[in-house]
Structure 1
Amino acid sequence: MIRFWLLLPLIALVSACTTIQVEPLPEGMTDQPPANWTGRSEQLRQFDHWRLMGKLAIRQPSDSGTALINQWVQKGEVYDLALSSSFLGMGSTRLKGTPGFIELTLPGGDIYQSGDPEALVEAATGWQLPLNHLIWWIRGLPAPGEDFRLLFGTDQQLAIIRQSGWEIRYDRWQKFLPSHPSLPAKITALKDDKRVRLVISDWRELGNTK
């Protein structure tokens, strides 16, 4: 009887431990990066002067829509994003800025500026776009300064980034540039009931004048 009472705290501890939920990895994926990940991610970080074209699709509870990415020019931290869409009369919309500043030009020529890029885009278009993170995610990198988790597929390519409540799925990679690693060609970003999908048709490298 004495031994039984001595064992009770141990039984309780074991029971408590078994209630901890460990999120299983998706089938066929690992969180162990491949041997070339450090070198590959460094190459992608240095690839910070580029231009891409493609298509953007957004689905959220309030509304959904698509837009052409006529061009997204990135020069270090400075971006210039030109979109065109008939959705909600957006027409040709231009976003220029840096991680802490944005200038938004609407089809009628009205210009708005803000120190909160995501809030301004949502107020003007109704779309919730994680702009500060997309600059990194679109290259296949986690945004700096925040916790993240990386998952890799059986082909040793990055398959998923989980960061800031978003899950970024890399649906397709493509060798756009011979001197660089494969770059994302199709990305799906999910958060709660929001979905942002990017399909990139072309990547170009720009000269770095730094």
Structure 2
Amino acid sequence: MKLARILAALLMLATLGACTTIQIEPLPEGMTDQPPANWAARSASLGQLDHWKLTGKLAVRQPSDSGTAIINHWIQDGESYDLALSSSFLGMGSTRLKGVPGFIELTLPNGETYRSGEPESLVQAATGWRLPLENLTWWIRGLPSPGSDYRLLFDEQGSLAIIRQDGWEIRYDRWQDFLASYPELPARITALKEDKRVRLVVSDWQEETP
């Protein structure tokens, strides 16, 4: 199925080794589940960042196949997103995902468009696993999604190190001062669930005007 192959190619990654989820009990050495004193203020500030444009690279690995895609842009406008990806993997070319919670529109390089009221189910049907699309808009900012239970771990410097939520483990590998008006934002994230791994590297992040 052409759509399945292209969607699968969109979410794959190469050159990533095997990885296992960190066990939380007992806590990993050097980590604590006690948030630093500035966590509430930091969370409130990042929660207000809901209009942005970023660029970078998306890479995904799962047992069936793997690959990478360039994030030409991820434009977030409140709850609406516009994600433009490109990759030579399987001849995917430029592919665009646009949507809001509960709806997704996928446009292929040849102009064919597919729409679904169940975004995660569409991706799961194509790739064999569920991509947490709505959670990603929170995780990319270094915040847990408010939609379900979660657990946070912080390193010795007080930086967020891990979010565990909905069966996923989100590891924050690097932070960077992208925007002068906000705290540091994630520059590299690794998300793991069972034998699947997603890595997102942000090269540039800009605040957009609502």
- Structure 1 or 2: larger helix share? 1
Q: For 2:176, give the aligned amino acid.
A: Q
Alignment-derived partner of residue 17 in structure 2: none
**Does residue 109 in structure 1 map to residue 95 in structure 2?**
no
Query: 22, 27, 50: which is aligned to 2:52?
Result: 50
Corresponding residue SS for 1:40:
helix
Separation of aligned partners in 1, 2:161 and 2:209: 29
Separation of aligned partners in 2, 1:25 and 1:125: 33
Deviations 1:41-71 (A, max 9, x none): 0111100000000000000011111000000
TM-score, structure 1 normalization: 0.86
Alignment-derived partner of residue 163 in structure 2: 161
Alignment-derived partner of residue 136 in structure 1: 138
Q: For 2:142, give the aligned amino acid.
A: G
**Does residue 91 in structure 1 map to residue 111 in structure 2?**
no
TM-score, structure 2 normalization: 0.86
Q: Which runs of 4+ in 1 moved over 6 A?
A: none
Unaligned runs of 5+ in 2: 1-23
Superposed CA RMSD: 1.4
Separation of aligned partners in 2, 1:79 and 1:161: 22
Alignment-derived partner of residue 63 in structure 2: 61
Corresponding residue SS for 1:102:
strand
Pairwise CA distance, 1:127: 7.0
Separation of aligned partners in 1, 2:55 and 2:168: 23
Is the Cα contact below 8 Å between 1:58 and 1:127 reproduced in 2?
A: no
Separation of aligned partners in 2, 1:198 and 1:132: 16
Q: For 1:31, give the aligned amino acid.
A: D
Query: 61, 64, 81: which is aligned to 2:83?
Result: 81
Alignment-derived partner of residue 208 in structure 2: 206
Corresponding residue SS for 1:133:
helix
Alignment-derived partner of residue 150 in structure 1: 152
- Percent identity over the alignment is 75
Corresponding residue SS for 1:170:
strand
